[in-house]
Amino acid sequence: MLENHAKLMQFFSSTDEIVGRKKLQKMIYILKKCEIPFEERYQFHFYGPYSEELTLRVEEMCNLGFISETREEKKNYYQYRYQLTDSGRNFLNHYEMDLPPLDKHIEEMNGKSSRFLELVSTMLFFEHLPKEEITEKVFTVKSAQNYTTEDIEDGWEFIESLRTIH
Amino acid sequence: MAYRDEKLSEEKVFKDPVHRYVHVREQVIWDLIGTSEFQRLRRVKQLGTSYLTFHGAEHSRFNHSLGVYEIVRRIIENFTDRPNWNQEERLLCLCAALLHDLGHGPFSHSFEKVFKLDHEDFTQAILLGDTEVNKVLSKVEKGFPKKVADVINKTYENKLVVSVISSQIDADRMDYLQRDAYFTGVSYGHFDMERILRVMRPMEDQVVVKESGMHAVEDYIMSRYQMYWQVYFHPVTRSAEVILTKILHRAKELYESGYNFELKPTHFFSFFAGEPTLKEYLALDEAVVLYYFQAWMEEEDEVLSDLCHRFVNRRLFKYIEFNPNAQMNEWMELYKLFTKAGLNPDYYLVVDSSSDLPYDFYRPGEEGERLPIHLLQPNGELKELSRLSDIVESISGKKRTDHKLYIPLDRLEEMSSRSKTKKRIMEILFDKE
């Protein structure tokens, strides 16, 4: 029952909190691309890879009381903060997860801005293409973000470092 | 004359119950409709298992694809000569609209879940692979198939073109809401599409709607909301979906354990192995799947045979409301009791959640999740829809999720009335003996 929810709760249990819905979306996508077996399906949207399944599962977990969501008003938008609750922790105790430890991945990603994670997840979305084409694609589909070639190089380094964790 | 500009000597029309007529003038569009990959969509139902709840819901992805094409044709007609619109993109838009669902397989949702596939990948593979569709598109120009694939994948450079085909108010949704309402026979799903098309305006990187059309858009959002709960997420349809998913799981499990099928599932072998080729994927349509289900009713394996009987003869699972948090202990007890009663809980005790059938509610898109619907104000400014519409704000802010527990009540009722296991199961499920 709710195996996919449990995997997400395992993710939340590996950190104190996740700040920002965009960050959450991109973190799970990046983890998937690091062979962590999350099952949420993603499509490319205006702001990069996005999963409606993930949005709904998070809503379900909030409604069930497994995760707490706090909304904070920012200048032009609302920001959301997520934490695993005691009920969530209790639920998770009933599961034997075969997920690898996620705390180092999460720590690395939490230290980055959502803008940077948007770049990294977009690069990973086009990973099947040659590197030069990926750069070109990022400049095309993300023209508004004004990413530089240095940002992209940082992105590759970051991907490399995430994939060598364990 | 270049192939891309070729017109049919006379306009062809398809009679359509939703849009009255679908008009085709371009040779390219006519040729695409005639390809075997597009014709295959006639054999994939638009609403999967919904026909077991709404008997009219037998319409196919072929119908829907033509409908989306027709809506895009009308949108572009309205865009012609407006600022920001490049008429050179017309054919690309029409092709992408027509082909956007090309990769859908039989009962897509269950198949994708069990075999970990994504129909979007197959859409790309059909567009770019060795197919009749690719041959037609390649005749337009070298690189044209890739452009169509990019528009459908939402990674095309011109975001305005992408947003005509795919955004929170796009041709895809406008067609399926009306078509699904028509074929299911429900009274929801209707809105004034003509009005919306008239007030749509092309901006630099998205389609927006003039503020004066807000009430028509409100109606469209309400339709989405009502169709979701009344049709797409109907609990009986979900029951059929649960059984279908379990049949596929069982067949895969049996195959992996070396079980000797009476009817060898040759069409499924590559799916079980996890890597169907494009040819194998295209060979499996709903007629083929239902043929296997019919044959598997005679299989020796009781679980597979029973589940197929249930699906083919509509003996669906019953459901009760379920709260996975408050009822966790009950679920664990039920799991043991079902095993004791000889009912494999992995197949006969199923929790189904709203996220198992994701449907995109309208979301204002805080923090840049997805591009929201923008209204164009008389002063030229854009405002997000829910900031101006109280109706939309009230439903887009509301979080509604749902979990149900599905069980074969008939099998439980068949158990001896003296069975303690049965007594306890019934107590937990219905608070009765």
Domain identity same for B162 and B38: yes
Domain identity same for B96 and B244: no
Residue-number span of the structural domain to which B285 is assigned: 235-356+402-430
Whichever domain contains B297, its CATH number is 1.20.1250.30
Residues of A in Cβ contact (< 8 Å) with B368: 22, 46-47, 77, 118
pLDDT digits (tens, 9 = 90+) for B76-96: 999 998 999 999 999 999 999
B383 vs A: CB within 8 A: no
Q: How far is CA B292 from the centre of its chain?
A: 23
A76 vs B: CB within 8 A: no
pLDDT (0 to 100) of residue B365: 59
Calculate the average pLDDT of chain B: 93
Domain identity same for B297 and B198: no
Residues of A in Cβ contact (< 8 Å) with B153: 44
Domains contained in chain B, number: 2
ipTM, two decimals: 0.86
Domain identity same for B168 and B150: yes
Domain identity same for B85 and B224: yes
pLDDT (0 to 100) of residue B361: 66
d(CA B353, CA A42): 19
Domain identity same for B168 and B223: yes
Which range, B148-157, B351-360, B382-391, is most confident? B148-157
Indicate the burial class of B71 (C-beta count within 10 angstroms; 0-12, 13-18, 19 or more). Answer: buried
Per the confidence metrics, is the pTM higher than 0.90? yes
Domain identity same for B342 and B419: yes
Domain identity same for B239 and B186: no
Q: Is the pLDDT of residue B433 over 50?
A: no
pLDDT digits (tens, 9 = 90+) for B273-328: 988 999 999 999 999 999 999 999 999 999 999 999 999 999 999 999 999 888 98
B345 vs A: CB within 8 A: no
Domain identity same for B192 and B273: no
d(CA A99, CA A114): 24
A93 vs B: CB within 8 A: no
Residues of chain A with pLDDT under 70: 76, 166
Domain identity same for B259 and B345: yes
CB-based contact A41 B118, cutoff 8 Å: yes
Q: What single-letter amino acid sits at A136?
A: E
Residues of A in Cβ contact (< 8 Å) with B224: none
Q: What residues have CB less than 8 Å from B194, skipping those under 6 apart? A: none
Whichever domain contains B95, its CATH number is 1.10.3210.10
DSSP assignments along A71-135, one per residue: EEE-SSSEEEEEEE-HHHHHHHTT----PPP-HHHHHHHHTS-HHHHHHHHHHHHTTTS-HHHHH
Q: Is the pLDDT of residue B395 over 90?
A: no
Of chain A residues 112-151, which have a CB less than 8 A from chain B? 114, 118, 125-126, 137, 140-141, 144
Domain identity same for B177 and B324: no
Q: What single-letter amino acid sits at B231?
A: V
CB-based contact A126 B155, cutoff 8 Å: yes
pLDDT digits (tens, 9 = 90+) for B131-185: 999 999 999 999 999 999 999 999 999 989 999 998 888 999 999 999 999 999 9
Residues of A in Cβ contact (< 8 Å) with B245: none
Domain identity same for B281 and B379: no
Q: What residues have CB less than 8 Å from B275, skipping those under 6 apart? A: none
